[in-house]
Structures are given as structure tokens and as C-alpha cells.
């Protein structure tokens, strides 16, 4: 491997490495300092990382800047699902939390568009990376006007502030008082948790659930499929420029499907969505693999088009199910005393799994070949159905305190069986 190829690998992996670090560090801090303050801090780190990436004049400086950028990405991925779940009423919490994934898809689409618009500009990669300072600045400005999480305020003895914030999102005084009482009850029964509580027996069911969801979302191959999409379009016959436009089309499709998922998130059971999505993605990956094998080995032209159709269907299933649902469920499942720490750990596992999948993709591609590699990801999709059926609880329509009580009941049930 050439020195530049090695350096290019580090540049690619730098964001993922930083994301793991950011997700791990931010959790304990968010339980102590609050979600809002650390979102503002994440925006500052975003800005510094993006500016450094855009101004980098060496590979080493670019790697450092992208690690910093990754730390902001990891921090936000741990903070935002927690913040949205704690701020939202139970009846619309799934839809509100799905906005996190919708904004991710929108950001990816804007990146596709800016990359296409700048493809002929001299030194375009500096502009592509530096433009990320704009959303970072907007995040900071918008974050100044955000309320703090009412559950964080109750835990830190600011019930008046929590009541005021709940009043902004709920016009029923009785409902507000009932929610305050539920939060107070859970907060009084629990002390601030740390690693001992996170990995203790009382948290084991939710920890297993979070780890499994975080890992399966990545080993289903979502990022590798998106990475490989332009190559599939070129293989079908698109020119390089047309393939970039097709990539924009995928981005638009992603946003539309994720928006639909946001609208139905609180009308359909979460576990059903996960299993439905896993079946759809698994079958799509098998068909995509068959199409690519036919096109490559049997030289059957239809195989290319089958691969493109299957790729599109796969993206639809992922964007509507596992893409948003994983973040929603991790954000709403951990007990209040370790919610920040738990969501931080779940996000870190997800980014670590992302890094492992990215690291192993090219070696697996070289060993198995273009078509067969996707059968591995299909197998992971089918395996996730067993995991979801056995280890994941249903959370739709329940308050965070009801979810916590159900998980506590499951722990006691396991203790009695043991």
C-alpha cells in the first residue's frame, strides 16, 4: 500500500475516530451540565473542525481537523436523541425524535449538491469541507434560543423551570403536573448514575438492547451501500457527472422516505418497523447481490438494472425504519439517572461499528468480490430480526417513566427466574 493510500485511509477514518471519542466523553458531561450547554459546545467544535478542514494545507493538519470535527459529530449524535426524547410529549415523541435522522439526511443531500456544484472549481475540496462552518454557526445561533430539558431541570431541583418548559409544549395543566410528579418520583428514587450503574444488573436489559441496535444498524451495510452507489450507477452506464446527479437523486429520495417515517413513527409499533425494515433490506441486498453477479459474471444486462432497483429499495427501507428508529429507541430507553451516559455509550458503539464496517469493507470486497459481499450484510439483516424479537421492548406511546418502569420490571422478572 502506498504512503498516500495509507494517509487517505487515515483521513477517511479520522471523523469516525473523533466521533467515538466525542460520544464517549459527552455523556457524563450532559448529565452534569445539561443538554443545551453541550449542544452549544458541540456547535463550537463543529465550527473549529470544519474551518480547520477547509484551511488545511497538509494531510496531517487535515487529519487533526477531521478528528475534531468527528468529536462534534459524536457529541451531537449522543446529545440530540436524548434532548428530543426528553422534551417531547409521549404521543409525538417518535416523530419529533425522527427529525434528528431527517436533518442528517437533509445535510447529506446538501453535501451532495454542494459537491456537484463545486466539482469544476479549483481547489474545490477546500470549499466542500469549509462550507460546513455555515451549519455549525447556525446550530450555535439557534441553540441559544433552545430550552433546557425539563427532566434535567427536575433532577437539578429546578421544578419551576421544568414546569415552564413543559407548559410551552403542553397546554393541559393537569397533564403537566402529572408529568412533573412522574419525573420527581423517578428522580427521588434514583441517585446520579455512573459506569457502575450503566453496566450493572439493573441496566442490563436496556444496555443489551442499545448495543444490539447500535451494532446492527451499521452491520446491515447502510454506509457501504451508499459508498458503492456511484460505482453501481457508473456500471449501469451513467457517466461520472450523471452518476453524481444520480447520487443527488438518492439523497432526495432519502429525505422523502425519512419524512414519511417521521409522520408514521407514532402510529406504528417500533419493533414492527425494525423487523419490517430488516426483512426489506435483507431481501433487497440479496437481489442486489444477484444482479451484480449476473452483470459481472454472466454479462446479463438486466443484472445492472436489478442492482440499481434493489439498491433504491434498500435505501427506502433503511431510511424509513432502522435509520431513524434506532436513534429514537436509544434516546428514550435508558433510565433518567444514566440517560446521558447511556445514550453516549450507545452512540459510541454505533460509531465504533461504523468504523469497523468501513475498515473491513475493502478487504472483504477483495476477498468475496463485488456481488457476494452484500450477502454478508443481508445475513446481518435477517439475524437482527431474532434480536429485535427477543431483546427489544416496545416503547411507542409510553412516557419515559413508563418505559423505565417496564425495564425495571423485566430486571426483577429475570432475577426471579434466575
Say which CATH number the domain at 103 has. Answer: 1.20.1250.20
CA 77 to chain centre: 6
pLDDT at 300: 65
pLDDT per residue over 170-204, tens digit each?
777 777 777 777 777 766 655 556 667 777 777 78
Confidence of residue 355 (pLDDT cuts 50, 70, 90): confident
Cβ distance 211 to 349 under 8 Å?
yes
**Is a pLDDT exceeding 90 seen at residue 238?**
no
Note whether residue 383 is domain-resident: yes
In a domain, 276, yes or no: yes
Contacts of range 193-198, beta carbons closer than 8 Å, 24 or more positions apart? 193/31, 193/335, 193/337, 193/338, 193/341, 194/28, 194/338, 194/341, 195/341, 197/337, 197/338, 198/338, 198/341, 198/342, 198/345
Kindly state the average pLDDT of the residues 261-272: 88
Please report, for residues 9, 158, 199, 325, the alpha-carbon distance to residue 187 in angstroms, rounded to integers and kept in the order given: 46, 12, 19, 27
Helix (H, G, I), strand (E, B) or coil at 267: coil
Per-residue confidence (pLDDT) for residue 192, from 0 to 100: 57
CA separation for the pair 215, 234 (Å, rounded):
30
Residue with cell 420527581: 184
pLDDT at 387: 95
Look at residue 195 in the predicted model and tell me its pLDDT.
Answer: 67
Please report the pLDDT score of residue 120 as a whole number: 67
Interatomic CA distance for residues 143 and 44, integer angstroms: 11
Least confident of 41-55, 219-233, 271-285: 219-233
Instruction: Please report whether residue 55 resides in a domain.
Output: yes
pLDDT number for residue 1: 46
Burial class (CB in 10 A: 0-12, 13-18, 19+), 115: middle
Q: Would residue 170 count as lying in a domain?
A: no
Identify the helix (H) or strand (E) that includes residue 354.
helix 339-368
Alpha helix segments (H runs only) across 148-221: 150-155, 159-169, 173-189, 195-198, 204-219
Does 151 map to a domain? no
Residue 140 lies in a domain: yes
Least confident of 140-149, 150-159, 236-245, 312-321: 236-245
Distance between CA atoms of residues 145 and 141, nearest Å: 8
- 85 pLDDT band, cuts 50/70/90, is confident
What torsion do the CA atoms of 263, 228, 132, 324 make, to the nearest 10 degrees?
Answer: 20
pTM of the model: 0.82
In this prediction, residue 415 carries a pLDDT of 58
Q: Report residue 302's pLDDT band, with 50, 70 and 90 as the boundaries.
A: confident
- Is the CB of residue 165 less than 8 Å from the CB of residue 148? yes
For residue 375, pLDDT over 80 is answered with: yes
Residue 156 within a domain? no
**Phi, psi values for residue 120, rounded to 5°:** -100, 5
Residue 278: what pLDDT? 96
Residue 386 has pLDDT above 80, yes or no: yes
Number of separate domains in the chain: 1
Q: Predicted confidence band at 6 (pLDDT cuts at 50, 70, 90)?
A: low
Domain of 200 in residue numbering reads as: 3-146+190-417
The residues, any chain, with a CB within 8 Å of residue 362's CB and separated by 6 or more, are: none
Q: How confident is the model at residue 418 (pLDDT cuts 50, 70, 90)?
A: low
Better-scored residue on pLDDT, 322 or 189: 322
Any domain includes 155:
no
Amino acid at each position: 500500500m502506498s504512503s498516500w493510500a495509507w494517509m487517505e485511509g487515515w483521513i477517511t477514518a479520522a471523523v469516525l475516530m473523533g466521533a467515538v471519542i466525542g460520544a464517549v466523553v459527552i455523556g457524563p458531561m450532559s448529565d452534569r451540565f445539561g443538554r443545551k450547554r453541550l449542544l452549544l459546545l458541540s456547535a463550537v467544535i463543529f465550527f473549529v473542525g470544519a474551518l480547520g478542514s477547509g484551511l488545511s494545507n497538509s494531510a496531517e493538519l487535515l487529519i487533526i481537523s477531521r478528528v475534531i470535527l468527528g468529536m462534534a459529530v459524536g457529541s451531537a449524535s449522543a446529545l440530540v436523541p436524548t434532548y428530543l426524547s426528553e422534551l417531547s410529549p409521549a404521543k409525538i415523541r417518535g416523530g419529533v425524535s425522527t427529525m434528528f435522522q431527517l436533518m442528517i439526511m437533509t445535510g447529506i443531500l446538501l453535501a451532495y449538491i454542494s459537491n456537484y456544484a463545486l466539482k469544476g472549481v479549483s481547489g474545490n475540496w477546500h470549499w466542500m469541507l469549509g462550507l460546513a462552518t455555515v451549519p455549525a454557526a447556525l446550530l450555535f445561533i439557534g441553540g441559544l434560543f433552545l430550552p433546557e430539558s425539563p427532566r434535567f431541570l427536575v433532577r437539578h431541583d429546578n421544578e419551576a423551570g421544568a414546569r415552564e418548559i413543559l407548559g410551552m409544549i403542553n397546554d393541559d395543566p393537569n397533564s403537566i403536573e402529572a408529568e412533573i410528579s412522574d419525573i420527581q418520583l423517578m428522580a427521588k428514587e434514583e441517585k446520579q448514575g455512573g459506569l457502575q450503574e450503566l453496566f450493572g444488573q439493573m441496566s442490563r436489559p436496556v444496555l443489551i438492547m442499545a448495543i444490539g441496535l447500535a451494532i446492527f444498524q451499521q452491520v446491515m451495510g447502510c454506509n457501504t451501500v451508499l459508498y458503492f452507489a456511484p460505482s453501481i450507477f457508473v456500471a449501469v452506464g451513467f457517466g461520472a457527472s450523471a452518476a453524481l446527479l444520480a447520487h443527488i437523486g438518492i439523497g432526495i429520495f432519502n429525505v422523502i422516505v425519512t419524512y414519511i417515517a417521521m409522520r408514521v413513527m407514532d402510529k406504528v409499533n417500533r419493533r414492527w418497523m425494525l423487523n419490517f425494515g430488516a426483512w426489506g433490506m435483507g431481501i433487497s441486498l440479496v437481489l442486489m447481490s444477484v444482479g451484480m453477479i449476473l452483470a459481472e459474471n454472466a454479462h446479463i444486462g438486466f443484472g445492472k438494472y436489478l442492482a440499481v432497483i434493489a439498491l433504491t429499495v434498500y435505501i427506502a427501507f433503511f431510511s424509513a425504519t432502522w435509520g431513524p428508529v434506532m436513534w429514537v429507541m436509544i434516546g428514550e430507553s435508558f433510565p433518567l439517572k444514566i440517560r446521558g451516559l447511556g445514550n453516549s455509550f450507545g452512540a459510541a458503539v454505533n460509531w465504533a461499528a461504523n468504523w469497523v464496517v468501513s475498515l473491513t469493507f475493502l478487504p472483504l470486497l477483495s476477498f468475496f468480490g463485488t456481488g457476494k459481499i452484500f450477502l454478508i450484510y443481508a445475513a446481518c439483516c435477517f439475524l437482527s430480526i431474532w434480536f429485535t424479537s427477543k431483546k427489544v421492548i416496545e416503547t411507542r406511546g409510553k412516557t419515559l417513566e413508563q418505559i423505565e418502569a417496564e425495564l425495571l420490571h423485566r430486571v426483577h422478572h429475570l432475577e426471579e427466574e434466575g
